[in-house]
Amino acid sequence: MPVDLKAIVRERLGENYDLHDRYINRTLVKVQRTIGFDKIYCRAKGAYLYDKDGNDYLDFLSGFGVYNIGRNHPAAQQAIRDVLDLDLPNMVQMDCALLAGILAEKIVARLAAQGASHLNAVFLCNSGTESVEGALKFARAATKRTRILSLKNSYHGLSYGALSATANAFFQEGFGPFLPGVSHVTMGDLQELEFELKKGDVAALIVEPVQGKGVYFPKDDYYPRAQALCRQYGTLLICDEVQTGVGRTGKWFGFEHWGLEPDIITMAKALSAGYVPCAAVVARRSIYQSVFSRLDRCIVHSTTFGRNNLAAACGIATLAVMEEENLVENAAKMGALMEAKLLELQQKHDIIAEVRIKGLMGAVEFSEPSSMMGKMGWKAVHSMDKGLFPQLIVTPLLQRHRILAQVAAHNCDVIKFLPSLIIGEAEVNRFVSALDDVIQSLGKFPGPVWDLGQNFFKAMKSGAPTADEPADAGA
């Protein structure tokens, strides 16, 4: 008898957190229960999640930027059904799969339409971190150099090469030593960059056009001038478009905002339509061929699942939906509206220090307010834990307003939002109105929001469940 997944879900929905506590990441379960994120979602569509009672939750997290075309888009579903109905041969490996070739063709055509026709060779893989690993290898092979530069505060993934390029001590703690020859420079400091490039051994500078951790980006011409320095010293420029690509920033690719001409880009996340992992390294053909330089090296860099039919179908469907539904244009339009409304909110609440937005990739940074009650609450929470405050924003957003957002990074007073690119004015207004309400509630100290911080702190001090704790620990 075939597995009846519908029956399994029907019978066991609600066991989610117990199963993960017992068999997967017990510490994550404890965190989710502590901060009130232990919701049971049973359905998803577009920009919304739904619980078993039919309550909608506005998803301003979108799987960390995966659902650019929205959740469960019918075009992606149909593409998957078509592949299954065709009974296509999949992952023969010693062949050239048709759908993988078509996806690569469409990626190259899209880049050409955006003024990047020099990016004309595609390596398909599975994830953002895998695409970064490939890009680093490609750069070393092409330049015959060993060193890699990345920007401070960058995030490029959690496998060893990508983690070495990730200039974030929080993610690196406990996992060293890292890849030798990787250095981190300060965004905006061209003198520091040139000092490193002058050594003549740097294969590539890798940048996120908009840094995912905190949504930071240059406000000036730093990127074009950094690219010019790379050209001067024979260093390649890699743009990590894993999160910023496929329309997220209001342009098809983040590098377009600065008129860059990267030598290599990485893509992932949204390319999958949220169904089957799909990622790509796209490079100049000359760089690509430096890797596959001889007949006996035709598979020297490879991945088992990278060219599979389902992933390719999802990528093809995603690119089609993005174009047909004008989602890049919508991201730019809704991002501008969001920015305008959040700047209005900043005038109302001095606790908002800065609003940073590119398309529908945005962050709100907070600082100590001027009111006496606000100062008392701020100082009390920060004395308990430096990274606690933004959780006092995102938890009430979920609990009181059913909006899912995230803390932008470790130990910073920033919240981040990454909604699907399909949202309209109603979703923008709902988010801004909810944020306004949550911030207003901070004006009362002591009060329920500040009490929430004390409860979080007590839970954090109790520590993560250990290996010898019973399976139901933290329940």
Does 461 have pLDDT greater than 80?
Answer: no
Strands of 279-283's sheet in order across: 121-125, 279-283, 264-267, 236-240, 202-207, 147-151, 182-185
379-421, pLDDT tens digit by residue? 888 888 888 899 999 999 999 999 999 999 888 999 999 999 9
Instruction: Tell me if 5-69+327-461 shares its fold with 75-324.
Output: no
Domain boundaries, given as residue ranges, for the chain = 5-69+327-461, 75-324
Q: What are the residues facing 147 on neighbouring strands?
A: 202
Q: What are the residues facing 443 on neighbouring strands?
A: none
* Mean pLDDT of the chain, nearest integer: 94
5-49, pLDDT tens digit by residue? 999 999 999 999 999 999 999 999 999 999 999 999 999 999 999
Confidence band for 229, pLDDT divided at 50, 70 and 90: very high
Q: Are 57 and 402 in contact (CB under 8 A)?
A: yes
Class of domain 75-324: alpha beta
**What integer pLDDT is reported at residue 1 of this predicted model?**
76
119-166, pLDDT tens digit by residue? 999 999 999 999 999 999 999 999 999 999 999 999 999 999 999 999
**What integer pLDDT is reported at residue 457 of this predicted model?**
73
**What integer pLDDT is reported at residue 473 of this predicted model?**
34
The set of residues, in sequence order, having a beta carbon less than 8 Å from that of 22 and lying 6+ positions away, is: 471, 472
Three-state SS at 353: strand
**What integer pLDDT is reported at residue 375 of this predicted model?**
87
Confidence band for 293, pLDDT divided at 50, 70 and 90: very high
Q: Give the Cα separation of 458 and 412 in Å (integer).
A: 20
Work out whether the CA dihedral 217, 218, 222, 228 comes out positive or negative. Answer: positive
50-99, pLDDT tens digit by residue? 999 999 999 999 999 999 999 999 999 999 999 999 999 999 998 999 99
Q: What is the mean pLDDT of residues 439-457?
A: 77
CATH number of 5-69+327-461: 3.90.1150.10
Write the DSSP assignment of 12-36 as a string of letters.
HTT-HHHHHHHHS-HHHHHHHHHTT
Burial class of residue 177 in the structure, from the number of CB atoms within 10 Å of its CB (0-12 exposed, 13-18 middle, 19+ buried): exposed
Q: What is the mean pLDDT of residues 183-188?
A: 98
Within 110-213, strands assigned E span 121-125, 147-151, 182-185, 202-207
